[in-house]
Structures are given as C-alpha cells and as structure tokens.
Structure 1
Amino acid sequence: MQFRATSIIFVQKSMLTTQRKQVILSRLERDGQVVAKALSGEFGLSEDTIRRDLRELAAEGRLQRVHGGALPASPATGDFVQRQAINPGEKLSIARRAAWMVQPGQVVILDGGTTCVVLARELPLSLKATVVTHSPSIAVELMNHPHIEVVMIGGRLFKHSMVSVGAAAIQAIADIRADIYFMGVTGVHAEAGLSTGDLEEALVKRAFAAHAAEVVVLASHEKLNAASPFVIGTATMATTLVVEHHTPASATNDLAALGIDIVRT
C-alpha cells in the first residue's frame, strides 16, 4: 500500500509538471516570450523550478532560453535537406523580391541558406556581377549564368548546412568589400538579435556582414521573433529585412522601430 500511495503522488506531480509546461508554451505562443520571475509568481513556485522547466523544454527543442526567461525556438534548424522542405513557396517569393535588389556590376555575397539557393536560381541570366559565396550549392546554381563571376570561399565543409566554415573562411572574407550581403538566419528578434544554430556559421556570417555595405536578411515567417543558440549580431546589423507579403505588421513593428527597412514581397 505504501508503494502504491507513493506511486500515485509521483504520477500526480508528473502530471502537474506536464500541465505547467503546456501553460508555459501557451504563454510563449501568446506573448512571444516568457519571464521566469513572472512565471514563478503565477505558479507560486521557485524560480529554480521554473528554470528547470525551461531547461527541459529547451532540451526538447520547444523554446530557446535567454537571460531571465525564454523565446520561441526557431523551427528552421534542421539540416540542409530538411530546411529545403520548409515553406518553399514563401522562400521563392522572398528570393524573387531579393533578386530585384541586385544591380549590374555589384559584388554580392550570397549566404548558404536554402532561401539564398533559390535567390541564386532567380538571378537573371543577363546579369553581370560578382557573387561571393561559401556555399557549393550556390556555386553550382550559378554555373549557367554566363556573366556572373563566382568567388568561392574555402574552408572546412560544414555538411549540415553545406557551407565552408572555420578560420580559413574568415581569413578569406577579410579581403572582400561587397556592395550587398544576403544573409540567411534561423532567428530574427528585436532584442535577441540575429541568430543561427551553429557557432562557426554565426562567426562566418558576422565576418561577411562586416565586409558588406548593406546587409539584407531573408526571413520567412517562422524565423521572425524566434531565436537560436548562437548570436550573429544585433538586429540592427541588418539594414533591410525581406519578408513575405502577408507577414503581419505586428511581427515586424519592433524591428522597423530599430530603423530596419522592412520589404514585403
């Protein structure tokens, strides 16, 4: 009987924890962020208990912990093949709008994201420009563009994202002065900044941004107001954000308030 009573209490506590986590996720979806101190007061529990809940949810990929609480986790953190299947229509719309920004004679950096691969495909065959990339996938897409000179950045191939990373890549980037850099990210947040799922990728993106006159971030809706573990830079690193035409103003108002130009497809 003692064992049974203990088991019942354990199950009840377990259910309460599960219910509490669901409430946390609901608050996150509703408000776009949760604060550990506020949740502690709401549930009448210690902040340590709430932080444990947040750690466990983060380990499950359900949210991204930040100082004092949590933000929505970006779903765009799978490998290259998986990410190609996420919102292909939206990516095409964003890529087409971004392609219009490229002017003849420019030096353009194309990042290694799946949207940038579509952007490379959408560049007109008549365009005369130089494209710098650390993505073999983009280089292949541009093989049939007779007037585009392709400069490949070498380094260690990070197979998860099909891009070159590491010290050799960053060193090569130091010799580039580009007109425009089209950046792929997995998270865009006014406070948490621009982020991605790998540290070396973040460092390469940061180096590209430092060597471009303009930084254009391509962001399908699932990346907005979400965060990933590794910060590329503050949101204001972006001069322009390209989003799908039906993206609500509420999703971009905080970013626009920072002086970022919001371009809808």
Structure 2
Amino acid sequence: MLKEERQAYILHQVNLHNKVLSSHLSEQIQVSEDTIRRDLTELAKEGKILKVHGGALSNSFHQGITSSEVYAAEEKRTIAMKAVTLIQDGMFVLTTGGTTIIELARILPSELRATFITVSLPAAFEYANHPNIEVIVIGDRLAKDSKITVGGEAITKIMNIRADLCFLGVNAIDADAGLTDNDWEVVQVKKAMIATSRKVVALCISEKVDTTDRLKVCDVDDIDILITELHPKAKKLQPYSRKGVKIL
C-alpha cells in the first residue's frame, strides 16, 4: 500500500470511529507501529487529526465544532431526527458521548421538558443551551481524549439511576459480535448505562454496521432499538431485526 493510500485509510478510520489505536491500525494495514506513528504525525501536522498517546482522535473532539465539520454530518442528523421522536416530556434520558449524540442535543424541540443525564462534557454544554431541559453531569475522572467522565464513581452513580431511555453512541456493531469499542473505561460506562436503563437505543451510521472493534460492550439483543440513516427495511439491517431489535 502506497503512503498516500495508507494515510487516506487512516484518516477514514479516524473520522469513522472518532478514535483509533496505533496498534490496531498496524494490524489492519500490516505495517509497523513506527510507520503508523509517522503517518499520524504527518496527518496531525496537516491539521487533519489530533495525535494522542497510542493513537489519534478525530478533529470532531474539538469543542465548538459545527455540524458541517463532522464526518457524515447529514447521516448523523437523520439519525438524530429519528431519535428525537422517542423522547417524551418528563423522561429521564441517559446519553454517552459522540458527534451523533451532540447532533441530537442540538435539535431537541424547545418545548421538550425532560432530564438529560450524561458523562459527556460537550453534550452537557449543548443540553445546557436548551430552555426546558434539566441537565445532570455524572462526575468523576475526565478522559481528556473523549471528554467523557469515567471511573468507579461515575459507574456507581449511573447504577443508581433508573433511566427511561439510554442513547448510546456506537463505535462498531455486528449482528454476531455485538457492540464493540476500543476504550476500556468507556466500555464500562456504557455497560452500566445499559444495565440501568429501561430502553436502550443505539445510534449508528450505516458505515459502522457490520464492523467490530477490540472490546465488547454488549450483545445485539441487549439493545432495544437501532437507529441508522437507512430505511428500516434496508437489507443490511435485517440480521439485526431477526435478533429482535427494533429498527428505526
């Protein structure tokens, strides 16, 4: 694979999954981690990614980023518009982080009265702009890469909540492998949210459907609803429907 092809692949993976690990990219492309690190350094110098210890982040982790700058922005807005239809007045709603969750926060109807509980600082800032939303931020140690609070205290607080809805940002989903991610501490937070919520909704652009990552979050049948930008009857989504997941 030529350098230009390799870097284009890396950039796509960063934008798709928001965060990538050098070790994982090395395995996927079958080059040394030193080569990957050099590629990440070059891409970072060009302003295309954020290089961090062990890997890289999408530029979408910058605070103040607009919807038009987000990867697959139109698809994520479509998902957010579908997700909004599930929220009713008086609900307690748990959310993870991610650009689709932020898009959801931005389009909440002004008349909606609900309580949103989140571990994501960027999402909390968006909820705070809403005139009738109560915002609860789950505190603990801040994971600077993802701007999400993680750790034992955060998990304990989550487990004491009985949420009506949980909206999960999805890194990868596969009908057999389930939901997977690449950050151990974020996975533990997601597991706690799933365990304590009456209904779990996965928000996922279709490009992440039928993909897997290193760490398992849950089985597909642990979620109640899967929302993508595709039509619910799309062929790609039928394996998930057969697992008993409602498709929106």
**TM-score normalised per structure 2:** 0.74
The equivalent position to 1:243 in structure 2, one of 200, 213, 228, is 228
- Where structure 1 has 5 or more consecutive residues not aligned to the other structure, the ranges are 1-14, 16-55, 64-76
- Where structure 2 has 5 or more consecutive residues not aligned to the other structure, the ranges are 2-22, 31-54, 62-68
Q: Counterpart amino acid of 1:155?
A: D
The equivalent position to 1:231 in structure 2, one of 216, 219, 243, is 216
Deviations 1:80-114 (A, max 9, x none): 53476320110011011101210000000121111
Q: Counterpart amino acid of 1:79?
A: L
Aligned counterparts of 1:148 and 1:57: Cα–Cα separation in 2: 39
The equivalent position to 1:79 in structure 2, one of 57, 70, 95, is 57
Aligned counterparts of 2:194 and 2:27: Cα–Cα separation in 1: 31
Count of residue pairs the alignment pairs up: 197
Q: Which secondary structure does the structure 2 equivalent of 1:188 belong to? A: strand
Deviations 1:124-169 (A, max 9, x none): 1111100000011111101221211111101111122111111111
Structure 1 runs (4+) deviating above 2 angstroms are 56-63, 77-85, 245-250
Please report the RMSD computed on the Cα atoms of aligned residues, expressed in angstroms: 2.4
> Aligned residue for 1:150?
135
Aligned counterparts of 1:57 and 1:127: Cα–Cα separation in 2: 42
**TM-score normalised per structure 1:** 0.69
Q: Percent identity?
A: 36
> Aligned residue for 1:187?
172
CA contact (8 A) 2:60 2:99 kept: no
Q: Which secondary structure does the structure 2 equivalent of 1:94 belong to? A: helix
The equivalent position to 1:59 in structure 2, one of 1, 19, 26, is 26
Question: What is the deviation of 1:79?
Answer: 2.3
Q: Which secondary structure does the structure 2 equivalent of 1:254 belong to? A: helix
Deviations 1:58-95 (A, max 9, x none): 634459xxxxxxxxxxxxx9625347632011001101
Question: What is the deviation of 1:253?
Answer: 1.3
Aligned counterparts of 1:62 and 1:189: Cα–Cα separation in 2: 21
CA contact (8 A) 1:189 1:235 kept: yes
Aligned counterparts of 1:237 and 1:124: Cα–Cα separation in 2: 28
Question: What is the deviation of 1:248?
Answer: 7.3
CA contact (8 A) 2:70 2:99 kept: no
Aligned counterparts of 2:148 and 2:203: Cα–Cα separation in 1: 17
Q: Counterpart amino acid of 1:179?
A: D
Aligned counterparts of 2:112 and 2:165: Cα–Cα separation in 1: 15
Question: What is the deviation of 1:212?
Answer: 0.5
